[in-house]
Chain A
Amino acid sequence: MSTSTVVTSDRAHRPFTPTVMAVIVFVDTDGAAATVEAVRRQVYGVAATVIVGGGDEGERVATELGLEHHATIRELLDGVGSEVEAVWMLHGDSHPRPDALGALVSEMGRQDASMVGSKILLADRPDRLESVGSATDVFGEPYSGLDPGEIDFEQYDVVRDVAFLSGVSVLIRRDLLKGLRGLDPVLAPVAAGQDLSQRARVAGGRVVVVPSSEVLHAGRCAHDVADWRELAGRMRSIIKAYRWMTLAWVLPVGALIGLFEGMIRLLLGQPKPLFDHVRAAGWNVVHLWGTLRERRLLDRVRAAGDEELFRYQVSGSVRIRELATEIGERMGWTVDEIDAARPEPEPEVDRAGPVVAGVVLVAAAITARRLIVGALPVSGFSLPASPDHWSVLESFAGGWNPAGLGSPEPTHPAAGLVALVGLVVGGWSQGLLAVVGIVLGVAGTARLLHRMGVSGPSRYLAGLVVLFGPFASMAAQTGYWPAVVAAGVAPWVVASCIPGEGSKTTQWGGLVVGSMILAGLLPAGFVIPLAASAVAVALLGMPRSVLWRGVVGTGAGYLAASAYLLRTDPADLFGGFPQIGAPSPFLGVLASIAVAATLLAAPGERMRPAVWGGAIAGVGLAVAAWFPQGEVGMASLVFGGLGAGVLTGAALPFDLEATRLRSSLDVVGSLAAGLLVVASLVGLPGGRAGLPEDRWSGRLDFVSSLAPEEGPGRVLVVGDPGSLPGGWRVGNGYAYRLVWGTRPTLDQAWLPAEREGDRQLAAVLSEIDRGDVLHPGEALAEFAIRWIVVLDGAPLAQSLRAQVDLEPIPVAPDVVVFENTVARPRVEAPGWVETRSGGEGPPSAESVRLADNAFPRWGPDWEQDGWANRMSASQGRLIYRNDPLGMWPALAAGVTLVAGLVAMVVGRFRR
C-alpha cells in the first residue's frame, strides 16, 4: 500500500495512538451483533463500544451485548469526556476487516487529518467497490467516479483528500465531532456522511479517505430510505455549509437543473425524479428553521470558506452528466429493443451499435437540420404551421376549411396532426415531428431488421436509406413535407407489427400510435402496416399474429384519417401534387445488384429480410409510378423506401463476426448497399432532407405590413405549378391559388374541391386573360383578393399590364406584386375583422358578407349571397356548425390516440 502524500514532519515518526470509541449506528439486530463482533476483533483496540439509535430494539440489542446505548450521537457526545480522543462511527450493517481501525488511526496521525474514512466494499461481493471517498458537484450531488459494480483492483488505493466520506466507517477526532455536534439526526445515511464531511472541512479539518482500511457493507441501512430523503439531505447540507453569496446562485440554479432533469426523465418515462425534487424541496421548506439553526451552530466553528469545499468538487452538474450518459446509452439500447430488459454485455461488434446509431442520428439530424430547427424550406407542401392550432384542428374535425375560397371539406390530417402537436407543446410542432421522424426512422429500421433476424450496426445505417435514400429523396424533391416525416415513422410502425420482447401493452400502444401518426401524415399510408405484414407472412413465413397486428395498425391508421377520407373525393388521393420525378437509374442498378447478390450469396438470416425488402421496394416503386401525382404515390414511395432500407440493412455485412461473407458476390452486394447509404447523404450539405429550396419565406411579408385592420384578405398567387405553395388550380397557361393571411401555411396547402366561388374566380381570370377587364381589381375584390403575386413569366402579368385598379408594388425582382386598390374584406361589415374560421365584430342588426364559398352550415341566419355567404351580425361573430361526419371520427381518433399513448406508458411502467 502506498500513499501519494509525502510527510516530512517529525510528527510522522511520533506514534499516534488515540483512545478510540466505536459508535455503531443501529441498523438491525443481526447486523449490530456482527458489527460489534468485528469491532472486537480489531487489531487496534477500542476503548469502548456503544450502540446509537434503533429505538427500543437498539437499546435491547445493546443490553444483550452488554453495551451502552444512546438515542443519538449528540446525546452520546454530551457524556463523553476527553479520555476519548477519536470516535469511530460505523454502520450497524458493516463488517470492518481486523486492520481497518488500525489503518484509519495510522493515517489520521500521519496525515494530521481530522476525519478519515474507510474504503467500502460490497458485503456480498467483496471484490466490488461501493465507495472510496467521493467528490460532489457544487449542488451537493455526490460523484464517486465508480461504475456500478466496479471491481476493486486497488486502482483507487491512494490516501487523498476527498469531498466526503461514506458514513459507513468514519474515524473522527472527538473534539471536532463534539464541536460539530455529531451527525445530523434528520438526515438519511449517505447525506449524513456528506454533511458531516462538509462541516468538518468548513471547520478547518482535513477529510481523507484511507483505502487500506477496508469495510464490507451490507447496505441494508439504505433499504428503507427513499431517494428523495437523500436528495433533501444534500440540499440541507449545502444550505448549512455554503456562505450566503454562494447559496444565492447555487439554490436557484440547482432548482432549475432539478426541474430540467425531472422533465427530461419524465419524457423518458421516469416521473419519479421530478416528484423527488419537489418533495425534497418541500421537505427543506418544512425544515428550514432547523436547517438555519444548524447553520448558525456551524458558523461558530467555521474556519474555512466555500473555496475549501470547491477544491474537492467536480465541475458542472453531476445530475446533468448522468442524464446525458443515460440518454446516450439509451440511444443504442432503445434502438434495439425499447421494451426489452437491458441486455447483457454484447459481443464486441454489437457494442459498436450505439456508436453507429449515434453517428447515424447525428448525420440524419444534420441532413434534416433545417427541418428540426424550424427553418423549414417554405416551398411546395413544405409550409409552416398556422399559429392558430385550435382552429386548424377544428377544420380537420368537421369545421370550416378556409383554404382557397373555403370549403366544408376537411383540412388535411397532416395539418391536423401538426396542429395537435402544436397545441400540446405550444410550438415547434414541425421541428418536433421531424425529430420524431428521424429518431423513429433510425430506431424503427434497426428494430425491424432486428426482429427480422439481422444484427449488427448495419441496421442503423439502413435507417439513412429509409430517411433520405432514393425513395425518400423522390418524395422530398416534390416538396411534400409530410412524406419526409412519414418515411421515418413507417419503419417503426412495421416493426411494431412483428412481436418483440417486452411489454405487449407497450407494443400494441406503439403500433396504434405509430399507425395513426403515419396515416395522419399520409392518409393513403394507412394500408402500409397491413401490406407490409402481409408480405412478411407470405414471404418470410412469419406467424399470423403479424398479420393481425397489421390489420390493427391499418385500422388505427384509417381511424386517424377517417375524418378526411370519409369527406374527400377518393380521386384526390391520386392527384393534385407535382409529379414525382423518375428514380435515378444509377441507384436502380445499385439496388438491383444489392438484391441479386444478397439473395444469391448471403446467409439465410440476411437473405430473408432482403427478399422482403426487395419485394416491398419493387411494389412500392411500381405503384408510385402508376400514380405519380398523388397521395397514393407518396405512400407507395414511403412503403418502397422502407423496403430499400431493409434491403440495405440485410446486404451490409457490418457484423463480420456474426455473418461472415460467403463469397465475393456477397462483397459486391455489400458494396452496392454501402453506396446506397452514401448516396442517401447527398442532401446533408443542404440540411433540408432533400426538400426543394426555400421559395416563399418572407415573400409575403409585405402583406402583414400593409394589411388593413379588418384583416389581410387573400393573396392570389400565380405562376408555374411547381413554384406555388401547395396545390393549385389551372388558369390560361399558368397555375394559381389563393393564400389566406400573411403567409402560406400547411393547413392551406391542400386545396379542396372546386365550388361555385372557385368556378366564378376562374371565369374572372379567364376574362382578364381575354383582355376584357379594365378593372380586374374590382372583379377580384368580390373574392376578397387584396394582393396578386405573379411569379416571373406567368402570362397573367401580361394581361395585367393594361388595367387601372391594381397598383404594382416593388417587392422583389422576380415577382410582380399588385395591390388591389378597390379590395373588399373577406368579412364585410362595419367594424368586423376576419379570423381563420370566420369573423367577429360588434353585434348589430346588419348583415355580414363572408367571401367564402356558400355553405348553409354557416350562421347565424345564413343566406346565400351569390357564391358567397351572408349572415346576421347579431351575435358578434360568425358561427360554423361542425360537420358530425368529421367531428365524430376525429374525436374517436383522438380517444384512440390517447389510449395508445396510455398503453405505451402503462406498459413501460409495468415493465
Chain B
Amino acid sequence: MTRAVFTVAVLALLVGGWLSWEPVVPPDVGVGSQPAPPKARGCSARVERDLAGSLGVATAEGRPVPVLVVGAPADTVEPLEGVVALTDLIPGGLAGILLDPDTPDTAGVVTQTGIGVAAVTCTPPGLGRLVAVGASTRNEEDLELRLINPYAVDAVVEIGTVSENGLDTASELASVIVPARTVVTRDLDNLLPLRDSLDVEATVVSGAVHVELVQTGAGDTMIIEGVAPAEELWLAVPALDVPAVAEVFNPNPAPTEVTVESVGGDVVFSETLPATSLVQVDVTGLGGVRVAAAGPIGAGLIFEADGIRAGAPGVGAAARWLLPGVETVWVLNPSDVAVSVVVDGSPGVEIEPGELAALTGTFVDATGDVVAYGTVGDGRGLVAGWSLPDAADR
C-alpha cells in the first residue's frame, strides 16, 4: 500500500514536472520590423568648364545644413544655407552630394547649367527598389545613368531597363558594383540606343545608392531622380506652353491596372499595363494628374520640345514642401476644398480645388495637402518638391 502511494505521488511529481514545460518561445527582441529608410538625401552634380550650377539647400527651420560632398576629389563637409554655386563645392568633375539627415526637414535641389538648364531634387537612397521614369535615347539624345554612393559601404545594384519594347536591358547592367564614396556612371545611349522611352528600375542588393538619369539633347539637359515606386502619385503640370507627357512605368513582374485622372477627376487613361512595360499619356494643359495603380509603379512628368528637356517624378500629396533654389514654385491643390498656402512666411494665398498656382519661394506650408513642383531656367528645368512630414508625424 505504502509503495503504491509513494509510486503514485512520485510519478505524479515527475510527470507533472515534465508536462509543465511549454514550447520554447524565442526571446522578445522587439517588433523586428524592417528599419526605416534612411533620411539622408543625396544627388550628384558635375562641374566642368562649360558646366556649373548651384545647390539650393533649405530646412523648414531655416538652419544651415551639413552637406557632404564625396569624390571630388576629397570628401568635404560644409554647413550650407540658401543657394551655393557648385563651383564653391566641387573643384571639378562629378561628385556626390549628401545632405545630413541629422538636421531634420532638409531639402536640396541641384541646378545644372551649361547645356541648357536642369534641376534635380536630392532624394533618399534606395535600400530596395528605385525607379527613374521618363528618359529616352532617341536620336541625338545622350543618356547617362548615375549611381551615387556617398556612403561608407560598397553597394551592388541590379539595373533593369524597360523601353517601348518592354523589358529591354543590357547584361552590363545586371550587377553594378558601386564602391563606397563614388559615383558610377553608365552610358545608356551606348548600351540601349534609339529607345523613344526608357525607364530604369534599380534594385539595390547591398549598400545604398541614389539613382539619377541625365539626358542631354536638343540643347537642353534633363535630370530625373530615382524614387521608390508607389501606388498613388501626383503630377503637377506647370503651364509652360510645352507639350506635357505623363509616363507610367510598371516595373512589376505582373500586369498592373493603372488609371490616370485629371485633377478634376476625368479619367485620361485606364488600362492594365503589362508586366515591365510603360505607357505615355498626354497631359498637356491638365494642370495636374493623379496616377493610381493596383501595385507600386513609377510615374514621371516630361516636357519635351525643341530646346527643352525637363522631367520630374511623381510625388505624393503633402501639406509642407521645400523647394530650395527654384525660380517658380507650382502648387497644385488636388483636393475638393480650397487651401491656404504660405510660402516663406509671406501672406497666405488661397488656392481653389484643382487649381495650379505659380508662386515664388522655398518653403511651402499649406492648410491641406497640395502637390508642389519647381521650375528653373524658364521651365527648362523641372523638379519635384521635397515633401516634409506633418509636424505631428515627426
Contact = CB atoms under 8 A, between A and B. Distances in A.
A640 B3 CA distance: 22
Contacts of A600: 3-4, 7
Given A582-B23, A619-B13, A730-B28, A801 B153 contact: yes
Contact of A595 (B11, B32, B37, B207): B11
Contacts of B21: 582-583, 621, 625, 628
A770 interface: yes
Interface residues of A, number: 62
Contacts of B98: 774, 804
A622 B37 CA distance: 46
Nearest to A613: B10
A731 B29 contact: yes
B16 interface: yes
9 smallest A-B Cβ distances: which pairs? A618-B13, A621-B17, A733-B32, A802-B38, A802-B208, A614-B10, A622-B17, A582-B21, A625-B20
Nearest to A796: B35
Query: Which size class do B's interface residues fall under?
Result: 35 or more
A53 interface: no
28 contacts: A579-B25, A579-B27, A595-B7, A595-B14, A599-B10, A611-B10, A617-B14, A618-B12, A621-B14, A621-B17, A721-B26, A732-B31, A732-B33, A771-B35, A771-B40, A772-B101, A772-B102, A774-B98, A774-B102, A795-B33, A796-B35, A798-B127, A801-B207, A802-B38, A803-B153, A804-B152, A808-B152, A808-B153
A470 to B, nearest CB: 10
Contacts of B12: 618
Contacts of A275: none
Contact of A770 (B14, B22, B36, B152): B36
A697 interface: no
Contacts of A588: 14-15, 18
Interface in B340-383: none
Contacts of A728: 27
A800 interface: yes
A626 interface: yes
Contact of B35 (A578, A775, A798, A808): A798
A582 B24 contact: yes
Contacts of B34: 795, 798
Contacts of B31: 732-733
A711 B182 CA distance: 32
A120 interface: no
A732 B20 contact: no
A591 interface: yes
Nearest to B18: A588
Given A588-B15, A617-B14, A802-B40, A769 B35 contact: yes
A46 to B, nearest CB: 79
Interface of A: 578-583, 585, 588, 591-592, 595-596, 599-600, 607, 610-611, 614-615, 617-622, 625-626, 628-629, 640, 720-722, 728, 730-735, 769-775, 795-796, 798-808, 818, 821
Contact of A585 (B18, B150, B208): B18
A592 B15 CA distance: 7
A606 to B, nearest CB: 12
Contacts of A775: 100, 102
A808 B206 CA distance: 12
Nearest to A640: B17
B24 A774 contact: no
A591 B68 CA distance: 68
B10 A618 contact: yes
Given A615-B13, A731-B29, A770-B35, 9 more contacts: A592-B15, A611-B10, A614-B14, A720-B29, A730-B27, A735-B27, A773-B101, A802-B38, A802-B151
Residue with the highest number of chain A CB atoms closer than 10 Å, among B4, B6, B33, B98: B6
B154 A808 contact: yes
Binding site of A, secondary structure by majority: helix, strand, loop or mixed? mixed
Contacts of A582: 21-24
Nearest to A819: B152
B30 interface: yes
Contacts of B180: 807-808
B125 interface: yes
B39 A771 contact: yes
A582 B22 CA distance: 6
Residue with the highest number of chain B CB atoms closer than 10 Å, among A580, A610, A799: A799
A105 B127 CA distance: 106
A734 B29 contact: yes
Nearest to A601: B3
Contacts of A772: 39, 101-102
Residue with the highest number of chain B CB atoms closer than 10 Å, among A618, A720, A733: A618
A622 B33 contact: no
B180 to A, nearest CB: 8
Nearest to B151: A802
Interface string B191-216: 00000000000000011100000000
B14 A733 contact: no
Contacts of B39: 770-772
Given A578-B27, A801-B151, A802-B40, A773 B18 contact: no
Contacts of B154: 808
Nearest to A621: B17
Contact of B17 (A610, A617, A731, A803): A617
Nearest to B5: A599
A188 B28 CA distance: 77
Contacts of A595: 7, 10-11, 14
A761 to B, nearest CB: 15
B246 to A, nearest CB: 30
Interface string B67-99: 010000000000000000000000000000010
A242 B282 CA distance: 114
A629 to B, nearest CB: 8
A599 B102 contact: no
A144 B155 CA distance: 80
Contacts of A579: 24-25, 27
Contact of B68 (A592, A619, A801, A804): A804
B59 to A, nearest CB: 14
Contacts of A821: 152
A592 B13 CA distance: 10
A56 to B, nearest CB: 77
Nearest to A779: B102
B13 A771 contact: no
B152 A803 contact: yes
Nearest to A776: B152
Nearest to A626: B20
A795 B18 contact: no
B218 to A, nearest CB: 36
Contacts of B150: 804
B130 to A, nearest CB: 13
Contacts of A734: 29-30, 32
A617 to B, nearest CB: 6
A807 B31 CA distance: 28
Contacts of A731: 29-30
B14 A730 contact: no
Nearest to A616: B13
Residue with the highest number of chain A CB atoms closer than 10 Å, among B36, B38, B39, B181: B38
A617 B15 CA distance: 10
Nearest to A580: B24
Residue with the highest number of chain A CB atoms closer than 10 Å, among B10, B24, B30: B10
A241 B53 CA distance: 104
A540 to B, nearest CB: 11
A693 B6 CA distance: 41
A803 B7 CA distance: 66
Interface string B34-68: 11111110000000000000000000000000001
A803 B11 contact: no
A803 B127 contact: no
B8 to A, nearest CB: 9
Contacts of B27: 578-579, 629, 721-722, 728, 730, 735
A759 B34 CA distance: 22
A604 B30 CA distance: 55
